[in-house]
């Protein structure tokens, strides 16, 4: 079962179904229950696939992230945040006044006679009024309280100054790792799966939790990793191909010169290596006429790093072909991905179109 962070395109829930036999081949892995695509919406499915190829971020993509002060913030409007150090003066009560009261990570502040009270989210003026009210409940007569922010725990200006002091600029470039995470200053690892727009929103929200609206974060795509599909097995020229929008497995096979003489076009394997670990595969029949319908939303056409494997007629059953492919036959760029397990390898048999 697969869950994707930041809304990856084409996410589905796999529901186990009873084992069944198709075309004389025993399917030993559970077949997923899928939402079917009718002939009326196949074009929209293809359009969504094209958007995924163009817009979905993948390991190796490089992001450029720039930081700016959002505005010259009015001190009176500043909202107290966890980690801030506060100066609190209670006029006439030196024992209740504090010169360096630190706001706890949960946003609470510890005060004499009062105990813990919420501070994060208030301006200094509002907090002073609330503390004065709380002290009035403690039988202090007309308490006069002054609150000032002595030091910000998360100061956007200091953050940017430290960046410039370290690297000479307020911009950094980061590449998505194989597990679809990037390492960011202060906030650590951020997991990204989806489009650039979703990545921007996730990164900005993470920094807003620290700096509110005091920091502006600009996220741009500096470069993409190669979008590649692999056509292997009994074809004229087994090779990696640049993936183009709307490319299908049959188009990929035709691009490399077509099938070899001893190819078996009735059990072509489309193998997908998942960024979060594991694999999925579909069995494609390139010979028979189209089924009704040929695709489900879990298929969605070719995506980057997909493998189209055409077996020879003499090769064994599908399960043996897939096992050999994922254990010894993966292209080098995909070999660092985690292997499959019984839970994350699923099979779907589809017929894509008549081979002419």
The domain locations on the chain are 21-56+226-351, 62-73+154-223, 79-151
Query: Quick one: pLDDT at residue 290?
Result: 44
Cα angle 56, 294, 278 (rounded to 5 degrees) comes to 45
**Percentage, residues of the chain above pLDDT 90:** 28
Query: Quick one: pLDDT at residue 227?
Result: 83
Query: Quick one: pLDDT at residue 334?
Result: 63
CATH code matching the domain that covers 21-56+226-351, chosen among 3.40.140.10, 3.30.1950.10, 3.10.560.10, 3.40.1280.10: 3.10.560.10
pLDDT higher at 320 or 15 = 320
Pairing type for strands 85-90 and 145-151 reads antiparallel
Q: What is the pLDDT of residues 203-224, one digit of tens each?
A: 998 888 888 778 889 999 988 8
Taking CA atoms, 96 is separated from 5, 88, 93, 116, 124, in Å, by 47, 8, 5, 14, 17
CATH code matching the domain that covers 79-151, chosen among 3.90.220.20, 2.60.40.420, 3.30.1950.10, 2.40.50.1020: 3.30.1950.10
3 — pLDDT class (breaks 50, 70, 90): very low
Q: What is the pLDDT of residues 35-73, one digit of tens each?
A: 222 333 444 445 544 544 557 787 788 899 999 987 655
- Is the pLDDT at 321 greater than 70? The verdict is yes
Query: Quick one: pLDDT at residue 295?
Result: 44
**Do residues 293 and 348 make contact, with C-beta atoms less than 8 angstroms apart?**
no
Taking CA atoms, 284 is separated from 49, 77, 305, in Å, by 18, 62, 17
Query: Quick one: pLDDT at residue 127?
Result: 95
62-73+154-223 belongs to CATH 1.25.40: no
Q: What is the pLDDT of residues 97-125, one digit of tens each?
A: 999 999 988 889 999 999 999 998 899 99
- Is the pLDDT at 286 greater than 60? The verdict is yes
335 — pLDDT class (breaks 50, 70, 90): low
pLDDT, mean of residues 229-241? 92
How many other CB atoms sit within 10 Å of the CB of residue 356?
5
pLDDT, mean of residues 20-31? 32
Query: Quick one: pLDDT at residue 192?
Result: 85
Pairing type for strands 279-285 and 268-273 reads antiparallel
**Percentage, residues of the chain above pLDDT 70:** 71
- Is the pLDDT at 309 greater than 70? The verdict is yes
Query: Quick one: pLDDT at residue 117?
Result: 94
Domains 21-56+226-351 and 79-151 share a fold: no
Q: What is the pLDDT of residues 110-164, one digit of tens each?
A: 999 999 999 988 999 999 999 999 999 998 988 999 999 988 887 788 888 888 8
The position carrying tokens 């209670």 is 90
**Do residues 355 and 253 make contact, with C-beta atoms less than 8 angstroms apart?**
no
In sequence order, what are the beta bridge partners of 351? 285
Query: Quick one: pLDDT at residue 141?
Result: 87
Task: Please give the span between the terminal C-alpha atoms of the chain, in angstroms, as a whole number.
Answer: 37
CA distance 280 to 20: 18
């Amino acid at each position: 079962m697969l869950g994707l962070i930041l809304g990856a395109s084409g996410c589905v829930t796999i529901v186990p179904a009873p084992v069944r036999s198709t075309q004389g081949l025993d399917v030993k892995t559970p077949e997923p229950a899928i939402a079917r695509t009718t002939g009326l919406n196949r074009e929209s499915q293809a359009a969504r696939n094209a958007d995924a190829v163009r817009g979905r971020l993948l390991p190796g993509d490089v992001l450029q992230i720039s930081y700016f002060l959002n505005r010259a913030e009015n001190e009176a409007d500043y909202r107290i945040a966890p980690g801030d150090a506060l100066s609190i003066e209670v006029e006439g009560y030196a024992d209740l006044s504090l010169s360096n009261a630190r706001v706890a990570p949960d946003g609470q502040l510890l005060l004499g006679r009062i105990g813990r009270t919420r501070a994060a989210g208030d301006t200094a003026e509002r907090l002073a009024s609330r503390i004065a009210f709380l002290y009035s409940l403690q039988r202090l007569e007309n308490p006069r309280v002054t609150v000032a922010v002595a030091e910000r725990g998360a100061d956007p200006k200091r953050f940017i100054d430290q960046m410039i002091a370290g690297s000479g600029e307020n911009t950094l470039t980061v590449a998505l790792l194989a597990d679809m995470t990037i390492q960011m200053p202060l906030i650590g690892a951020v997991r990204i799966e989806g489009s650039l727009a979703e990545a921007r929103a996730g990164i900005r929200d993470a920094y807003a939790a620290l700096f509110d609206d005091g920091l502006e974060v600009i996220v741009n795509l500096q470069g993409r990793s190669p979008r590649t599909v692999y056509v292997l097995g009994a074809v004229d020229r087994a090779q990696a191909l640049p993936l183009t929008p709307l490319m299908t497995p049959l188009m990929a096979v035709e691009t490399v010169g077509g099938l070899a003489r001893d190819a078996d076009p009735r059990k072509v394997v489309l193998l997908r290596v998942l960024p979060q670990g594991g694999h999925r595969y579909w069995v494609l029949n390139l010979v028979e006429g189209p089924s009704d319908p040929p695709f489900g939303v879990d298929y969605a056409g070719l995506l980057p790093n997909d493998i189209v494997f055409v077996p020879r007629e003499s090769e064994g059953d599908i399960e043996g072909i897939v096992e050999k492919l994922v254990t010894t036959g993966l292209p080098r760029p995909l070999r660092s991905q985690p292997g499959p397990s019984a839970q994350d390898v699923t099979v779907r048999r589809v017929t894509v179109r008549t081979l002419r």
